[in-house]
Amino acid sequence: MRNFIKKITHPFLKFGLQLYYFKPRTFCYDGICIKVHPDVFPPHLTISTTILLDFIKEKELNNKTFLELGCGSGIISLLATQKGAKVTATDINTTALEFLSDNAKKNNLELEIIESDLFQSLTERTFDCIIINPPYYPKNPKNIKEQAWFCGEHFDYFEALFPQLKNYLTLSNETFMILSEDCELEKIKAIASKSDIAFTLVLEKKAVSEKNYIYIITSL
């Protein structure tokens, strides 16, 4: 994990990322093309989004209620919408939500877009499928863009997430989370266990020398 943070905070790489993302960039998947703002989690240069897209593409979602919690660019939500799901996409980054609204219109797709800090704006709602691609590096974010990467020095994101998420886990729905070998998996699982939440591995995939894991999350 420390090596990763050194990588993304290295002056040369930081300059390269800033240069690449000085303007919105196009990202396409399975016929869906979107514009991604520089202040939004970049699907172009990360592995997790594509792994989740491939995973969602194979799932039966027609007429299912689908939540992407912390949607970022929203490409996963748009794919789920294309597959017939009734989608709700949330984020705390209002720029991300504005771009998602425009991208949905350009792709002739309709979904619900809500500004929400975790489940704050989703009380008394239920979903057949929930997807979470969380920030998992333990460092305090300095701005809205960094909140897509860093979960807080004391894993604050997960400490807040799991007590809320427990209320949305049922025997009839599915909740999936993607994590990387770069993060502190056992620490995150330990925080989940305090809310009686368990992780079961459903997919392991290695790309660009990094292993990523998709877990199904259930109540104990």
Distances (CA, A) of 118 to 7, 96, 113, 128, 168: 28, 15, 13, 17, 12
Q: Please report, for the chain, how many H helices and E strands are present, in that order.
A: 7, 9
Counting residues of the chain whose pLDDT is more than 70, the rounded percentage is 90
List, for residues 179-198, the tens digit of each pLDDT value. 999 899 999 999 999 999 99
Per-residue pLDDT at 44: 85
What are the DSSP E strand ranges found in 140-189?
Answer: 174-180
**Alpha-carbon distance values, 209 to 18, 54, 65, 154 (Å):** 24, 18, 34, 27
| For residues 145-167, average pLDDT | 96
> How far, in Å, CA of 207 to CA of 180, rounded?
11
E-only strand ranges, 57-195:
65-69, 86-91, 112-115, 129-132, 174-180
Per-residue pLDDT reduced to its tens digit, 70-95: 999 999 999 999 999 999 999 999 99
* Mean of per-residue pLDDT scores for the chain: 91
pLDDT the model gives residue 207: 82
pTM: 0.92
| pLDDT value of residue 21 | 61
